[in-house]
Structure 1
Amino acid sequence: MLKSNRLIALGLLAAAILCSLAKPLAKAPNVLFAISDDQSYPHASAYGCRGIETPGFDRVAREGVLFHTAISGSPGCSPSRASLLTGRYHWMIEHAGTHASKFDKKYATFPNLLEQAGYWVGYTGKGWGPGRYREGGFTRNPAGPVFSSKKKSSGIKGISSTDYAGNFEAFLEQRPEGKPFCFWLGGHEPHRVFEKGIGLKKGKKLDDIDVPAFLPDTPEVRGDILDYYVEIEWFDSHLARALAKLEKMGELENTLVIVTSDNGMAFPRAKANCYEFGVHVPLAIMWLGRVKGNRASTDPVAFVDLTATILEAAGVKHPSLGQAALAPSGRSLVPLLASGKSGRIEPTRTHVYSGRERHSSSRYNNWTYPQRCLRSDQYLYIRNFRPDRWPAGDPQKFNSPGKLGPMHGGYHDIDACPTLTFLIENRNDPSHKPFFHLSVNKRPGEELFDIKKDPDCLNNLALDPVFLKVTQKYRDEMDAFLKKTGDPRANGNGDLWESYKRYSRMRSFPRP
């Protein structure tokens, strides 16, 4: 008996020594993913944008890494969010890669994967959508269980009454003890419709903004942009509250905070377009306990890279690795974040991709406007697969069966707004006519822009002999990548996109 006790004691001593030598397991990080709805780069004060104040975003940028070349999954809400959730480019997820269709459950989402790994997950506001996820087998929104009971009035028309930060607090209060969390804080702002004139009512000034060169510089357009800024600031106030809550709880240091937007601003030639103001979005990432702050990166980053980052940070392996049909496509940013460096950090990140198919019901027979784009440090290359179609949507529609509406009553891939109304009403004014045509005219099959010199995408270089080699280089790289990743547009089966059902409102247009 004595011998047995000695053996037990020796065994316990050995185990204690081994435990003391072993490194302690790192605590699983929390994840706060904050995403606004229709916000272009560089519309945050951290980027030096005039006329707007975003202290929440600025804090994440100041205490983390501010990204200058973040490209969304698509220039439209639903496919961009689906790309982000799955870590796959929008052409790799079938119906979910177009607008207002379904989302097939066979494509694993990062909230579900983290939940299976022991995380407490949830979302508030806008998760994945618009579309019908139940048609694809999901029993809840792909962003996770919803937290929406808390309400807060802004007193501003068009702003959601959902108290995003309040619902985040409710989520935290219900979290089981000891569980790490992953929360999707999804604002409905700055999605249209804006309260007209609210920017001026809030004390903003028309002179305090920079109008993109593809829009007319008029009081009407400036006022519309100011109203858009007010909505961004509302979303940002919830982000700031969420950060303050985590700090008060002592959880901020162990939380990976990612802040971005799903696509660009809802203005002509921006949202629903593969131009800069359609796919280039704000991005800041903070992880106080592990990532050095006060840094900036110019590396091209895609939404699929954010998915890979979240999975690696959480120590979660995607179950479909090795299966090309279902595996994610991104490259984690964790090494870049941990590098402590600024500027152009990882030279092998040469370019990223985005694209679109159908946006709204905007053309005859619900036809799409298929685009793919490649964004490098300097250039934006765009492939328009159907240059015979109207990029902003058909100009004329049926207002009722057999009754054709007025010309220029269409263009439904541009959200209804004062700026679009101004362009249509002033389309024959010599000073405004060029902006109208920039927004609605048909486009060539290829476009190439030098973003360093032409961030507003006005000078197409694709047919310029001087840029022949650049165009050919990106044409070849895109062709190879789209074929490798199974894009139906590159594999002779592009009409498949026309077959995906749209569940939102349908319009009727005359046959071309």
Structure 2
Amino acid sequence: MNKLLRGVYLLLLFVMLACSNSKEAKPEEFKISRPNIILFVSDDHGLDALGCYGNPIIKTPNLDKLASEGVKFTNAYCTSASCAASRSVILSGLYGHATGSYGHVHDYHHFSTYDNIKSLSNRLTQAGYFTARIGKYHVAPETVYQFDEVLEADPRNTVEMADASKGVLNSERPFFLYFCTDDPHRGHPFTPEKWDIPNSFGNKKKGYKGVKQVTYSPDEVLVPEFLPDTKQSREEIAQYYQSISRIDQGFGRLMAHLKGAGKLETTVVIYISDNGMAFPGAKTTVYEPGIKLPCIIKNPTSNKKGITNSAKISWVDLTPTILDFAKINYEAKEFHGKSFRNILENENPKGWDNIYVSHTFHEITMYYPMRVAIDKNYKLIWNLAWRLEYPFASDLWAASTWQSIYRNDIKKFGPRKVKDYLFRPEFELFNLENDPWETNNLAGDENYAELLESIKTKLKIFQKKTSDPWMIMWEHDASLQGSGVNL
């Protein structure tokens, strides 16, 4: 009997060892079958300042190379042209109006995501990914947006940030690296001693360790049509360009480290910005320069290179897309966005011609909710607080680009009248194909009355579907309002 029990014991031990060995093999299989993912997010970088998007002046060779090896989207949009609000959407796949992420999280603004939201980083960690972040965070609470490791480096020095990330790139497990720069956000102090001194955009006279300074003459920069072509605008754009060239060097360093780790062919690389350039008329607005942004993606499993994709995609689509890359199952109804993984290599995919945007706050003192529906070539902006003067972010108000207009009582800011920039109608309707700078409002034109009502209806459906509390502003529609009791 003892011999029999001993035999059974040895058999069980053999089975347990076999199972143990098979379990040890699984991480290796996991490592091979699921890609690493880098999400590189710059701060206030518009479509205007990248070589691969048509700017012949700015030097961005490393990002241009990424575009030549991957997919460049020409109709990619953030959902709110404000740093914190945008980042909450990037990391959740949900509009900020549905998660409490209405605006900035820092200081007295204190907007924070509801604690029942399941973020991208938390989902990836639970699926076995090693998650790490470096640089700008700007979301809350940390329990919702949790990472396995927080790396430290100067967020203005992307070369230093890249060097600090080497350990993650050499991870045994598949990794998700959330790499967020402070560039090219305006630098402190926002208000200079003299009003016409250009902002530094984080640039320093002595530069940054490991970074080659790339400077630009104000005479050579390209002034976007929505800005005034003034001495002050040009000086600030030159500083903005310099900050972007610093980003590009750090991105190149990161790719070199990735190659050195032998992970270049197993890593999905995504480059985006949180919102448009930090100039009046772009950042904090829902005009195209504020919300239409760079998006470049390299899928290492694809043989196609240098693709230009015209699909209208949104930052609310990023979380489900990244989960698709990571081969992690989810329910489509968990997100307001949808994955564009399957249309990545299509230049003109069908069914991707609608975008919705939801902006409520930037700073807490900047209450000016706006909702946007883009339907093919037509764009509707609903200015819910249209009776108020349009508010300025503190850094944009102090910008010499704006002060040169304000102090000299100039009547136009770029193509717009200053009074039209400050005091907006309730509805703005634009044909983006014929009027890309959004100066001809069709909302009051009887020829477009039917179209206006049609897009309004689509906007209402979007608001109801995404639980937008501001739906109440349509004729006091309280259908989304609860009982007032916290169940």
Same fold judged by TM-score > 0.5?
yes
Counterpart amino acid of 1:316?
I
CA distance in 2, matches of 1:97, 1:467: 32
CA distance in 2, matches of 1:418, 1:304: 33
SS in 2 for 1:222: helix
Aligned to 1:476: 457
CA distance in 1, matches of 2:215, 2:117: 46
Matched, 1:437 2:418: yes
Change (3 A) 1:362 1:79: same
Change (3 A) 1:288 1:415: farther
Matched ranges for 1:96-107 at <5 A = 96-100=101-105, 101-107=111-117
Residues 9-35 of structure 1: CA distance to partner in whole angstroms, max 9, x if unpaired? xxxxxxxxxxxxxxx886110000000
Aligned to 2:391: 392
Change (3 A) 1:361 1:253: same
Counterpart amino acid of 1:459?
N
Q: How much does 1:485 deviate?
A: 1.6
CA distance in 2, matches of 1:487, 1:197: 36
Q: Is the 8 A contact 2:169 2:257 kept in 1?
A: no
Q: Is the 8 A contact 2:85 2:96 kept in 1?
A: yes
CA distance in 1, matches of 2:58, 2:407: 29
Matched, 1:341 2:346: yes
SS in 2 for 1:489: helix
After superposing the two structures, state which structure 1 stretch, 302-311 or 449-458, moved more.
449-458
Matched, 1:416 2:391: no
Aligned to 1:379: 378
Q: What stretches of structure 1 of length at least 5 have no aligned partner?
A: 1-23, 153-158, 394-410, 497-512
Counterpart amino acid of 1:387?
W
Match of 1:168 among 144, 165, 168: 165
Aligned to 1:10: none
Residues 459-512 of structure 1: CA distance to partner in whole angstroms, max 9, x if unpaired? 21221223223322211111111112211111446999xxxxxxxxxxxxxxxx
Aligned to 1:39: 45
Match of 2:355 among 344, 352, 356: 352
After superposing the two structures, state which structure 1 stretch, 290-299 or 484-493, moved more.
484-493
Residues 317-336 of structure 1: CA distance to partner in whole angstroms, max 9, x if unpaired? 23xx37x6xx2122111111
Matched, 1:329 2:336: yes
Change (3 A) 1:106 1:215: same
CA distance in 2, matches of 1:199, 1:44: 22
Q: Is the 8 A contact 2:68 2:306 kept in 1?
A: yes
Residues 63-117 of structure 1: CA distance to partner in whole angstroms, max 9, x if unpaired? 01000000002110111100110101222212x2332211223111111111111
Matched, 1:58 2:52: no
Matched, 1:183 2:177: yes
Aligned to 1:259: 271
For the aligned residue pairs, the C-alpha RMSD in angstroms reads: 3.2
What is the percentage of aligned positions where both structures have the same residue? 29
Q: Is the 8 A contact 2:44 2:277 kept in 1?
A: yes
Question: Aligned residue pairs: how many?
Answer: 431
Normalising to structure 1: TM-score of the pair?
Answer: 0.77
Matched, 1:425 2:424: no
CA distance in 2, matches of 1:431, 1:331: 40
Q: What stretches of structure 2 of length at least 5 have no aligned partner?
A: 1-28, 106-110, 188-198, 206-212, 482-487
Q: How much does 1:436 deviate?
A: 6.4
Change (3 A) 1:433 1:283: closer
Change (3 A) 1:120 1:199: closer
Q: How much does 1:119 deviate?
A: 0.7
CA distance in 2, matches of 1:112, 1:431: 47
Matched, 1:227 2:224: no
Match of 1:146 among 150, 154, 170: 150
Q: How much does 1:352 deviate?
A: 1.4
Aligned to 1:315: 327
Aligned to 2:141: 133
Residues 248-279 of structure 1: CA distance to partner in whole angstroms, max 9, x if unpaired? 22211111111000011111111111100111
Change (3 A) 1:477 1:244: same
SS in 2 for 1:104: coil
Q: How much does 1:440 deviate?
A: 4.5
Q: Is the 8 A contact 1:128 1:143 kept in 2?
A: no
CA distance in 2, matches of 1:128, 1:58: 28
Counterpart amino acid of 1:330?
G
Change (3 A) 1:415 1:172: farther
Q: Is the 8 A contact 2:464 2:480 kept in 1?
A: no
CA distance in 2, matches of 1:28, 1:204: 42
Q: Is the 8 A contact 1:272 1:413 kept in 2?
A: no
Normalising to structure 2: TM-score of the pair?
Answer: 0.81
Matched ranges for 1:213-252 at <5 A = 213-252=225-264
